[in-house]
Amino acid sequence: MDLTGSVRLGAAKPIASTGGVAVGRLSRWQKVLLVFLGWTFIGLLMAVPHAVAKFDWPNVINKLIEYWAWALLTPLFLYVDRVLSRYDGRPVLRVAIFLLLSGPFSFVHVYLTAFLLYADPQIWWNPLRTPEFVTYYFLGGWLMSFAIIGMLEALRYHRSFMQGQIELERVERRLLESHLNTLRMQLEPHFLFNALNTISSEVISNPELARDMIEDLGALLRLSLDYKDNQEISLAQEIILLEHYLAIQRVRFGDRIQTGMDIPPELMEAMVPCMLLQPIVENSIRHGLGKRAQGGCVNISAMREGGILQIVVVDDGVGLSNGCNLENAKGLGIRATRERLAGLYPGTRHSFWIGSRDVGGVAVVMRVPLRFSGAGDDGTAAA
C-alpha cells in the first residue's frame, strides 16, 4: 500500500515545441545532430544487404548519401509542417496539401542525391549519368516522403493527445479544488453558527466570558481567513486553530471539559488538511462529553508509522449509539472530513476510522501521507 506520495495541485508543465512537432528542449546543434544520426542509422540499416554477403561499398555509400539528402531536406519538411499547423482543425486538408507537395520534394531529393553522388563515377546509376534512373529514385523518394509525412502526422496527433491529457488533468484539478473548497466552506459556517449560539447563551449571564469567547472566535476566523487558499497546513498551525476553538468550549463548559495532546515535536511541521481536527473534536464535545453531566476528556495524539502520519482523537463520552458506524455517520463534520481526505489523498493513500472504545467513548483514527512543510515528493523535510 503506497502512502508516501504527495498531493500535486500545481499547474502541469507544458510540452515544449517548435510550433509543429514536439522536439523537447534541445539546442539547435543537438537537433541537427539528432537528425543527422537518425538518417545515418536508417541509411546504414538500408545498406546492410550490401554489406553482409559481399561488401559492396558503392552501394553502401549510395545508401548513406541518399538518406543524408533526406537529412538536408528535413528542415524543409518541418517548416512546411509548421506552416500547415494553421489547418490543425482540418487534418484532411493539411494532409492533402502535404501529399501534393511530396512530389516536388521527391524531385528535389532525386537531384540533390544525384549531385552528391556525382563525385563517385563508380555509381553509374546516378540519375545525372543515367537519366532513366530518375524514375527509380523518384518512386523510392516518393514512398519515403509518405513515410515522413506519416511520422509527422503521428507526432502531431501524439502531441495533441498529450496536450488534451494535460488540459483534462487541469480541469480535474480545478474541479477537485472547487469541491474541497466547498467542503471547507460547509465546515466553517457550521462551526460559526455553533460558536455564536454558545456566545449568545453567555452574553446576558456572563458578558466578560462572552467577550473572551468573541475574541477567540475572531482569532480563529482570522487564522481561517489567512489559510483560505491552503488545502494543507502544518500540524502546529492546525493545533493553534484548534486551541482557539477549545478556548471557546472551555468557557462554555468550564471544568467539565478537559483536553490533552500527545504530539511529538518533530511531527509539528507535518502537513495535514486545514480544519481537520476542529470538526472531529467538536463532535466529541457536542455528542460525547456534552451529554454527560460530569463532562469528560478528549485527547489528540499523533505518531509516525514509516511514511504515514496517524492522528487519533479519543474521548470518554457516551460513545456511539447502537447501529452507528462509519458508513451511516451522516453528520456534516464526519462526512466533510471523509470526503476531503478522499479528495486530497485518493485511493489507498489515506484512511479514516471511527468506532466505540471498549472503555467507553469514541475513537477516530486518521492516517495520511507523512509530508513536511517545504519537503520534496519523497516526504523529507527541506534542509
pLDDT tens by residue, the chain, 383 residues: 333 333 333 333 433 444 444 455 778 888 899 999 999 999 999 888 888 777 788 888 898 999 999 999 999 989 988 888 888 778 888 888 888 898 999 999 999 999 999 988 888 889 998 888 999 899 999 999 999 989 988 988 888 888 888 888 888 777 777 777 777 666 666 777 777 877 787 777 778 878 888 888 888 778 777 777 778 899 999 998 888 888 888 877 777 888 899 999 999 999 998 888 988 898 888 888 877 778 889 999 999 998 899 999 999 887 777 666 555 555 677 888 888 888 888 877 889 988 888 888 889 999 999 998 765 544 444 43
Is 229 within the bounds of a domain?
Answer: yes
CA distance 198 to 158: 60
Q: What residues make up the domain containing 103?
A: 29-183
**In angstroms, how far is CA 73 from the centroid of its own chain?**
39
Is 50 within the bounds of a domain?
Answer: yes
Q: What is the pLDDT of residue 21?
A: 47
Distances (CA, A) of 73 to 44, 110, 256: 18, 11, 85
Residue among 214, 282, 294, 205 nearest 257 (CA): 294
For residues 263 and 281, the answer to whether their CB atoms sit within 8 Å is: no
- Do 47 and 75 belong to one domain? yes
| Residue where the block lists cell 451522516 | 330
What sign does the dihedral 52-54-55-59 (CA atoms) show? Answer: negative
Residue among 8, 144, 122, 3 nearest 66 (CA): 144
CA distance 44 to 37: 10
Pairing of strands 271-273, 232-234: antiparallel
- Do 169 and 225 belong to one domain? no
Is 19 within the bounds of a domain?
Answer: no
Domain boundary among 159, 183, 207: 183
- Do 224 and 324 belong to one domain? yes
pLDDT mean across residues, the chain: 81
Residue among 194, 212, 216 nearest 203 (CA): 212
Is 338 within the bounds of a domain?
Answer: yes
CA distance 383 to 379: 12
What sign does the dihedral 342-343-345-349 (CA atoms) show? Answer: positive
Q: What is the pLDDT of residue 206?
A: 77
Q: What is the DSSP letter of 231?
A: S
Is 166 within the bounds of a domain?
Answer: yes
| Residue where the block lists cell 466578560 | 208
Q: What is the pLDDT of residue 364?
A: 92
Which of left, alpha, beta for 360 (phi over 0: left; psi -120 to 50: alpha)? left
Is 306 within the bounds of a domain?
Answer: yes
Tens-place pLDDT, residues 278-313: 888 988 888 888 777 788 899 999 999 988 999 999
The domain tally of the chain equals 2
For residues 110 and 143, the answer to whether their CB atoms sit within 8 Å is: no
- Do 117 and 34 belong to one domain? yes
Distances (CA, A) of 177 to 180, 341, 373: 5, 12, 20
Contacts of 9 (CB under 8 A, 6+ apart): 173, 176, 177, 231
Domain boundary among 157, 183, 209: 183
Is 54 within the bounds of a domain?
Answer: yes
- Do 231 and 271 belong to one domain? yes
Which of left, alpha, beta for 64 (phi over 0: left; psi -120 to 50: alpha)? alpha
Q: What is the pLDDT of residue 373?
A: 75
Q: What is the pLDDT of residue 17?
A: 42
Is 127 within the bounds of a domain?
Answer: yes
β-bridge mates for residue 349, sequence order: none
- Do 201 and 254 belong to one domain? yes
Neighbours of 173 (CB within 10 A): 15
- Do 33 and 60 belong to one domain? yes
- Do 209 and 81 belong to one domain? no
Q: Which amino acid is at 333?
A: G
- Do 49 and 158 belong to one domain? yes
CA diameter of the chain: 113
Domain boundary among 183, 214, 234: 183
Which of left, alpha, beta for 298 (phi over 0: left; psi -120 to 50: alpha)? beta
End-to-end, the C-alpha distance of the chain in Å comes to 28
Q: What is the pLDDT of residue 31?
A: 87
The b/e string for 29-66 (b: 16+ C-beta within 10 A; e otherwise) is eebeeebeeebeebbeebbeebeeeeeeeebbbbbbbb
- Do 286 and 315 belong to one domain? yes
- Do 347 and 284 belong to one domain? yes
- Do 313 and 206 belong to one domain? yes
CA distance 107 to 85: 24
For residues 8 and 383, the answer to whether their CB atoms sit within 8 Å is: no
The CATH number given to whatever domain includes residue 293 is 3.30.565.10
